[in-house]
Each structure stands twice: as C-alpha cells, then as structure tokens.
Amino acid sequence: MRGLLSTVAALIVLWLVNSGHYTPLLLGLGAVSVLLVAFLAGRMAAVDGVWPDGPPLWRVPGYLVWLLGQIVAANLDVLRRIWRGPASLSPRLVELPLSMRSEWAQALYANSITLTPGTVTVDIGGGRLLVHALSEGAAAGLADGAMARRVQSLER
C-alpha cells in the first residue's frame, strides 16, 4: 500500500510540474494518466510479488548532496587524465563485497559507483560486485568503503 501511494504521489507531482496548465480538462487527463500508470505498475508488482521498496525519503537529500561532491571530485580526476593522455591510466577490474541486504540499496550502490566517472559496475551477483576502475586511486577509493557505509546507513 505504501508503494502504491508513493507511486501515485510521485506521478501527480511529475504531471503538475511538466504540465503547467491547471484547467479542469488537463487536470482530468492527468488524473486518468496517473491512475493508468499506477494500475500498470501494480500489475508489474504483482508479477514480482512485491512493490519496489526504497529508502526513507527524508534521508535521501543528505546522501544526494554527499554523492554530488563525490561526482564533482571524480569528474575532475578523470578530466585531468583525459588531458594527460592514456599514460596516466592504470585500469583494472576489482571485486567488491556487497554488504547491503535490500535490493534497492544494492541497486543504489551499483548505480552510484557507475554515476561517478572513473568507476563502472560491470557485473553483480553472488554477493559481489565486479567494478572496472580507471586508476589505482579510483579502485582504492571504493575499496575503502565510504560509499558502501553511506548506502548501508540509509537502510537502517
């Protein structure tokens, strides 16, 4: 039920922001669209057996601000390597333990790794992540586990 309600709430906000026309006709069309999409999402959740879960919403902004800082720092590092040329690279594949329990936290961790330039999640499974890192520093930054701890703290 919580999944259904938050899906409907997110869809309503999305419609209102993108429409900008608040006449009865367009609001009515919006309501029909929201209900249709919520119905389809409900059918997909029925196939999976559960509604997709997520972190408590009030904790998300803090994580996003921290992640934004990481993204900017990682971008500057990759930019430097682009202009220095391939000699500045030391690419490698590294395996990381996957310490989160919930699926959304695993997906958030894997996507955060890929979103920061210099590290890309290649494969996931068996409680481990396979990550391609552009340099020794990028691999060491992940191995130190700061990002994993942040994502895990969203679970609690």
Partner 1 sequence: MSAVVDGLAWAAIGLGVFVCFSGAFGLLRFPDFYSRLHAAGVTDTLGAGLVLLGLMLQAGWSLAAAKLALILLFAWVSGPTASHVLARAARHDGLEPWTGAEGRRR
74-103 residues near partner 1, rule: CB under 8 A: 75, 78-79, 81-83, 85-87, 89-93
Among residues 11, 105, 134, 148, the one that binds partner 1 under rule CB under 8 A: 134
Q: Are 78 and 121 in contact (CB under 8 A)?
A: no
- Is 26 a binder of partner 1 (CB under 8 A)? no
What angle do the packed helices 60-84 and 136-143 form, to 10 degrees? 160
Phi, psi of 129 (to 5 degrees): -115, 140
As to burial, measured by CB atoms within 10 angstroms (0-12 exposed, 13-18 middle, 19+ buried), residue 81 is: buried
Which CB atom, from 20 or from 156, has the smaller least distance to partner 1? 20
- Is 18 a binder of partner 1 (CB under 8 A)? yes
Among residues 1, 2, 17, 47, the one that binds partner 1 under rule CB under 8 A: 17
Q: CA nearest 105: which of 51, 142, 156?
A: 156
- The residues binding partner 1 (CB under 8 A) are 14, 17-18, 20, 71-72, 75, 78-79, 81-83, 85-87, 89-93, 110-111, 114-123, 130, 132, 134
